[in-house]
Homo-oligomer: A and B are copies of this chain.
Amino acid sequence: MSKAKVGVINVTGYAGVELTRLLYQHPGVELASVTGRSAAGKRLGEVFPHLASIELTIEAEPGEVDLAFSAMPHKESAGQVMPLLDHGVKVVDISADFRLKDATEYQQWYGFTHPAPQLLKQAVYGLTELYRSQVASARLVANPGCYPTGAILALAPAVKAGLIEPEIIIDSKSGISGAGRTLNLQTHFAEANEDATAYALDGHRHLPEIVQELERLSPKQALSITFVPYLIPMTRGILTTGYASLASGKVPVDKKGRRELFQLYQDFFKDEPFVKVVEFPPHTKHTWGNNLCLIHPTIDIRTGRLVVISAIDNLVKGAAGQAIQNMNLMLGLPEVTGLEAVAVYP
């Protein structure tokens, strides 16, 4: 049987280049095409020396493929994706263009009128652990943002079980590759090194995704979520903490309750290949370069609060790795194919 052909649109950003690294090693597909307007015509290894062993030339337009990943910026991605879908190409869109179900939110959060609102319902939100079967049969998957991946996975078991009150604080520390490859004073080495800062206090664009998905898990009540992202001086990794008061009468506020909580998380993620519920606060370093999400749920016994911490590599489980996890399902391959490498440590 011949392998499926896949392509990467906009290989020149960090999500695109990470997709290429992972797809090159993937035994079940053939990476047939990479595009990138500014670099069109160059060999991949000219632009990214670590990919010199991949014999591909960057093209202006995607070639013939069965499935395409779009790593275009939001607003530009939809325009690339629509003709592909029309030609029967399956798509995993890494941009935000198909993540939100309500088209009016694109106006509010991203400042543009969505060009294809009819596709928003068809698109499957690609947090694989929550939408596995829908992903498998989708022709368009909207790959989650890096922050939402860590935040939703950390809070989903507690929200779904009605374990917590609806007031939720999410504090999320990101490595600087999350800000992309476009130059910016905020990500200039001498400015970002030895610095920590918060940003987007008026509302980060990943917030509506987090609200949309956690509220789908919380049918009885609306949620009130504060989300604050931070830049910290490392290249990769997101460490996310969720804080919420325990609903009364669900789990005891003591060490026994901690064990029940741990068990509830274990059960929720039973058989998940890429989520590990862990007994100690996770280190982002333990996910460097791989597709795991590590989650540590605990109870602040003094105050009766859930404190749950997740760690991911923002470019893998937070972007390219999860996109390939989705691709595997869409192509009928085992979900873990090509994603089994352990983290590079230290």
A interface, CB within 8 angstroms of B = 14, 17, 21, 24-25, 48-54, 167, 169, 171, 173, 175-177, 181, 183-185, 187-199, 201, 203, 224-226, 228, 230, 232-237, 239, 241, 243, 245, 276, 278, 280-290, 294, 296, 298, 300, 302-305, 307, 309, 311, 340-346
Contact = CB atoms under 8 A, between A and B. Distances in A.
A195 B21 contact: no
A67 B77 CA distance: 52
Given A181-B190, A344-B288, A233 B233 contact: yes
A237 B196 contact: yes
Contacts of A192: 189
Among A167, A181, A235, A276, chain B packs the most CB atoms within 10 A around the CB of A235
A201 B286 contact: no
Given A49-B278, A173-B173, A228-B241, 17 more contacts: A49-B286, A167-B245, A183-B184, A187-B189, A189-B192, A193-B233, A194-B284, A194-B288, A195-B285, A196-B234, A197-B283, A198-B239, A198-B309, A201-B298, A201-B307, A224-B304, A289-B344
B346 A190 contact: yes
A288 B183 CA distance: 23
Contacts of A344: 21, 288-289, 344
Given A196-B284, A281-B201, A286-B50, A190 B25 contact: no
B300 A194 contact: no
B196 A188 contact: no
B21 A345 contact: yes
A337 B114 CA distance: 48
A179 to B, nearest CB: 8
B171 A190 contact: no
B183 A188 contact: yes
B49 A342 contact: no
A196 B228 CA distance: 16
